[in-house]
Amino acid sequence: MKHMTLSEIADACCGIYCGDPAFLDCEVSSVAIDSRKVVKDTLFVAIKGARVDGHNFIPQVMEAGALCSLSEQDLGDVDYPYIRVSSCTEALKDLAEHYRRSLDIKVVGITGSVGKTSTKEMIASVLSEKYNVLKTEGNFNNEIGLPLTVFNIREEHEVAVLEMGISHFGDMKPLAKIARPDVCVITNIGYAHLENLGTRDGILKEKSSMTDYMNPKGSVIFNGDDDKLKSYTSRDGRTPVYFGLTASCPFHVENIERKGLKGTYAEFVTPTSRFHAHISIPGDHMIYNALAGVAVGYALGMDNEEIARGIEKLVPIAGRNNLIEAKHYTIIDDCYNANPASMKSSLDVLAYADTRKVAILGDMGELGADELAMHREVGAYAAFKNTDVLVCIGALSKDMAEAAKETVLATEKNMKVFHFDTKEDFYQNMGQILKENDTILVKASHFMEFPEIVKKLSEEA
């Protein structure tokens, strides 16, 4: 990170410096909340979590080489410097906002109900063909993760691609104040977090507030096929640029050639040009991701050749439509998280397989009062997509299985449907359910811990 002195840090987070004044002009090398990631001259932020209180590690990290700690507690007469703050979490955000303002860098902010991470990966892959890019790693997209990502920006970086995740009203404002995006991308307005945000209109209101803190001369890039986004009217009169499969969108595709699990070829149409590219990861949702990448690339001055190379270099990451050729099965590992829209997109991908198609699906969380109806919707959809075997795991997924069975009876489909309360129950029966050379989709919300299933399928002797 760029240099920040302890004096500057104390001012930025309204803290009280405690310790030898000689250290006030010393500069920190990094910021960490994990004691295991402390290196020489790190600023350690003592976050108090549900299970672990970072304050307990302050003596340890100072001995390990940290320059200073942020603390909510009076540490008394200690022989190392610390900065006393009222809230370490708020101080972390204040400090990240201050640090972001010191950076001469373009920031792309990405939010949406579905596909934030895969869109972030695509946009970063595209921009990397011209710029030195930093991107959000893993799920560091909330009030703790975003500041830590911002602190990783170095002077050599030219663009930061930041994923911004919210689940409650008021979550976006502090993230947007930190990121100060030059380009705002919204992938869609779906049903994730309805439990907290009430309606899709509530989701739209919260996610679109990202634009309140963007560069006034920046670009707003929305999915034009989303009914909520295409009718969006900004409070400041800013007109979004739209991408989508619909020809009315300035950025769209034509002449789509779907190559099953080997991806998609398409002709990309921009307001001023056309070019062809191959998307290696299958599914129409990946076409949307690529279009978002094209629109962002144009906003940041890239040409068609650079953008096409970036699209074609994208490789899947674990848990995100990652195709695994295991000894006995082809596994579509898409188990990082789930909601109704992403479940349907993944079933669309499974439908491309030319072998027996098996979907192992689990519970979806944070769907609010309509959660059972939404699970039933996914079960019926699996039947309509001609899935051969549907395995539902979890309490909520019982309704998914029941709806699938009802659809099979009503439509005379041949899909076999199973329900298990736990993963362990499924493991005891999987030998009778799965067959050699099956293509298997694995997907559920994160709390279901379905990577365990992917590992078991991959390692099966």
Q: Tell me the pLDDT tens digit for each residue of 306-362.
A: 999 999 999 877 767 788 999 999 999 998 888 998 999 999 999 999 999 999 999
Q: How many structural domains comprise the chain?
A: 3
User: Based on the domain organization, do 298 and 198 belong to the same domain?
Assistant: yes
96 found inside a domain: no
346 found inside a domain: yes
Span 58-79, average pLDDT: 96
pLDDT in tens, 197-256: 888 889 999 999 999 999 999 999 999 999 999 988 877 778 899 999 999 999 999 999
242 found inside a domain: yes
Question: Sheet harboring 241-243: ordered strands across?
Answer: 133-135, 159-163, 106-111, 183-186, 219-223, 241-243
**At 41, which helix (H) or strand (E)?**
none
Given a cut of 80, whether residue 460 has pLDDT beyond it is no
Distance set, CA 243 to CA 185, 288, 298, 316 (Å): 10, 7, 12, 22
402 found inside a domain: yes
**At 358, which helix (H) or strand (E)?**
strand 357-362
455 assigned ligand-binding residue: no
User: Based on the domain organization, do 120 and 201 belong to the same domain?
Assistant: yes
173 assigned ligand-binding residue: no
User: Based on the domain organization, do 235 and 181 belong to the same domain?
Assistant: yes
User: Based on the domain organization, do 328 and 286 belong to the same domain?
Assistant: no
30 assigned ligand-binding residue: no
Percent share of the chain, pLDDT over 70: 100
Which 3 state secondary structure label does DSSP give 257? strand
User: Based on the domain organization, do 231 and 283 belong to the same domain?
Assistant: yes
The pLDDT of residue 234 is: 78
User: Based on the domain organization, do 301 and 385 belong to the same domain?
Assistant: no
346 assigned ligand-binding residue: no
353 found inside a domain: yes
Partners of 186 in beta bridges: 111, 222
15 assigned ligand-binding residue: no
User: Based on the domain organization, do 339 and 453 belong to the same domain?
Assistant: yes
User: Based on the domain organization, do 328 and 246 belong to the same domain?
Assistant: no
User: Based on the domain organization, do 224 and 332 belong to the same domain?
Assistant: no
User: Based on the domain organization, do 32 and 160 belong to the same domain?
Assistant: no
The pLDDT of residue 315 is: 83
273 assigned ligand-binding residue: no
User: Based on the domain organization, do 132 and 168 belong to the same domain?
Assistant: yes
The pLDDT of residue 269 is: 98
91 found inside a domain: no
The pLDDT of residue 134 is: 97
54 assigned ligand-binding residue: no
Per the structure, the complete domain to which residue 78 belongs is given by 4-86
Which domain-ending residue is among 313, 338, 369? 313
The pLDDT of residue 461 is: 56
The CATH number of whichever domain residue 44 belongs to comes to: 3.40.1390.10
Alpha helices in 235-324 (DSSP H): 284-299, 304-313
The 8 Å CB, 24+ separation contacts for 22-27 are 23/67, 23/68, 23/81, 26/67, 26/68, 27/3
pLDDT in tens, 398-437: 999 999 999 999 988 889 999 999 999 999 999 999 999 9
User: Based on the domain organization, do 281 and 397 belong to the same domain?
Assistant: no
Q: Cα(296)–Cα(424) distance, rounded to whole angstroms?
A: 44
The CATH number of whichever domain residue 199 belongs to comes to: 3.40.1190.10
